[in-house]
Amino acid sequence: MKTQTKPLVITLAALIVVVVVGLVAFLVARVQAPDPAAAAVVRADSHVLDDAGDGAVTVVEFLDFECEACGAYYPVVEEARQKYAGQITYVVRYFPLPGHVNSMTSAVAAEAAAQQGRFEDMYHRLFDTQAEWGEAQESRADLFREYADDLGLDMTAYDAAVSDPDTEQRVRADFEEGRALGVGSTPTFFVDGRPLVIERWNDLETVIDAALDR
């Protein structure tokens, strides 16, 4: 009888361990996985470059300042912003790609500038100079600090913001929500909440035109 009980106890113990491990893994996955139902294309703290008011067509771009495709599309975006001034609300959200050394660093610099109301100025500076620092294999945080100084930011406040973990967390919040919305590359656009697949340079304007005609 004793020889039969021991294997049974071991089996039950092993089964309990498997169940507990599985439950823990399930709970961890639930915490870590993005929740599509809770995701929003625009948040109250999203950075709005152009605000055309209620009822305007809303364009949201998830971007990475180091992404070459984002840099190439930047002039197209700026042309569209001028063409549709007063007709569209243009919103920018962070999506720093892990394969780029300075994607997070540049986003943190932009967010630090945003805390002083200068997001758009840093947005322009980072894209205008992307060829100087993009694809670098070392941190260019010092260069981004020079940009902030050139823009006349309060450098004590800027340094404090860059060092504050909450600043990076603000960037990561955009990234995680982008993942929940299905963003996997940059630039990714949403027009009035609908994802846009860019296949041609004028696709953004084509979709904006269609949205304005509705």
CB-based contact 67:101 (threshold 8 Å): no
pLDDT value at residue 21? 32
CA dist 126 and 144 (Å) reads 8
Q: Mean per-residue pLDDT for 130-155?
A: 97
Give pTM, 2 decimals: 0.82
What's residue 96's pLDDT?
A: 98
pLDDT tens digit sequence for 40-92: 999 999 999 999 999 999 999 999 999 999 999 999 999 999 999 999 999 99
List strands edge to edge, sheet with 88-94: 47-50, 88-94, 57-63, 188-191, 194-196
